[in-house]
Amino acid sequence: MNTPSTPTADSGLNNDSHNSEKRGPGSYHHGNLRAALLQAAVELIREAGVEKLSLRGLARKVGVSQTAPYRHFQDKNHLLVEIAKQTFEELAQATRALIDPSCSATKNIEAAGKAYLNFAIHNPERYKLVFGPSIENRAEYPDLIDSGQKAFGILKQLVEAGIQQQELLDEDPQILSTTCWSNIHGFAALAIDGFYDRQVAFSDFDTLLNSHVRLSIRGIVR
């Protein structure tokens, strides 16, 4: 699958500083242990899956004592929540960055949709984590819920602007936003699972991605 060449956002995981005990010549050589743990967790999920991720294994990979990760994360679920929260925040940044106030709401929704898909496709482990079942008791983490709502809120604000400018259907903006997002999310999930790799007819992935975003928006345009 010839996906668009955009950089991943893994390197942006947190910037909280904390010194910790080293365990020999491990991979941890600086004071930002929290960020190192979050980055290493994503790498471990990529290598072996979220089910096999553990705080002890994470400590071995980073090269710190087995107790060091617990200074930042109560348990594995809390670690996953932090990864998911920051993923939502970076996803919001990626989509917001391509919004141009001088363009129409429809054009901005299209740009945001492409940015969303590029982020999802280039960060598959993190994208699947934020929408999958691995995180337990999500309702107990209001910061996670808030970060997800803020990411979705970017699309909703664009839809509200499109309704006001009479570009989009005069319907409930929540319904229009959810309809549009559902189409984009479905495409992202299929792409991540390799569905389009197995379809010979879809040789030009960039064209397919752009067309999907455009047609998804057409369903809510006047």
- pTM of full prediction above 0.85: no
- Band (8; pLDDT cuts 50, 70, 90): very low
- Band (182; pLDDT cuts 50, 70, 90): very high
Residue 208 Cα distances to 46, 202, 204, 218, angstroms: 26, 7, 6, 15
Q: Annotate the chain with DSSP letters as a single string.
A: --------SGGGS----B---B-SS-S--SSBHHHHHHHHHHHHHHHH-GGG--HHHHHHHHTB-TTGGGGT-SSHHHHHHHHHHHHHHHHHHHHHTT--TTS-HHHHHHHHHHHHHHHHHH-HHHHHHHHSS-S--GGG-HHHHHHHHHHHHHHHHHHHHHHHTTSB-SS-HHHHHHHHHHHHHHHHHHHHTTTGGG-TT---HHHHHHHHHHHHHHTTB-
Structure confidence by residue, pLDDT tens digits, 43-64: 999 999 999 999 999 999 999 9
Residue whose entry in the numeric block shows the structure tokens 């945001």: 112
pLDDT for residue 99: 95
Structure confidence by residue, pLDDT tens digits, 147-178: 999 999 999 999 999 999 999 999 999 999 99
pLDDT for residue 25: 40
* Length of the chain counted residue by residue: 222
Structure confidence by residue, pLDDT tens digits, 59-115: 999 999 999 999 999 999 999 999 999 999 999 999 999 999 999 999 999 999 999
| Average pLDDT taken over every residue of the chain | 87
Name every residue whose Cβ is closer than 8 Å to that of residue 167 and which is 6 or more positions away in sequence: 104, 105, 106, 221, 222
Structure confidence by residue, pLDDT tens digits, 171-181: 999 999 999 99
Domains and CATH numbers, the chain: 17-71 (1.10.10.60), 77-218 (1.10.357.10)
